[in-house]
């Protein structure tokens, strides 16, 4: 089970905004700047720069940059 971007950010000492940790409340929504992420719920891949993602349910596929 791959760690979400939220879990990885917290492990690195960051404190991004979040709420439910289930992708429902949208408080953790950020912009994907670079790279690709997989939605841990649906398996859907997002890779468009500027796309909104929820970091609590998104896992990076390689290196990514997000606008926290």
Per-residue pLDDT tens over the stretch 13-52? 999 999 999 999 999 999 999 999 999 999 999 999 999 9
**So what's the pLDDT on residue 5?**
97
Give the whole-angstrom CA distance, residue 15 versus residue 50: 21
DSSP state for residue 48 in the 8-state scheme:
-
**So what's the pLDDT on residue 51?**
97
**So what's the pLDDT on residue 2?**
87
User: Which residues lie closer than 8 Å to 11 by C-beta, 6 or more apart?
Assistant: 3
Contact 48, 32 (CB under 8 A): yes
The three-state secondary structure class of 6 is helix
When computed from its CA atoms, the radius of gyration of the chain, rounded to whole angstroms, is 11
**So what's the pLDDT on residue 13?**
97
């Amino acid at each position: 089970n791959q760690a979400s971007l939220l879990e990885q950010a917290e492990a690195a000492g960051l404190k991004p905004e979040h709420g439910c940790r289930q992708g429902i409340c949208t408080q953790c929504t950020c912009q994907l700047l670079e790279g690709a992420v997989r939605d841990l719920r649906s398996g859907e891949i997002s890779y468009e720069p500027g796309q909104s993602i929820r970091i609590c349910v998104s896992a990076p596929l390689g290196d990514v940059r997000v606008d926290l």
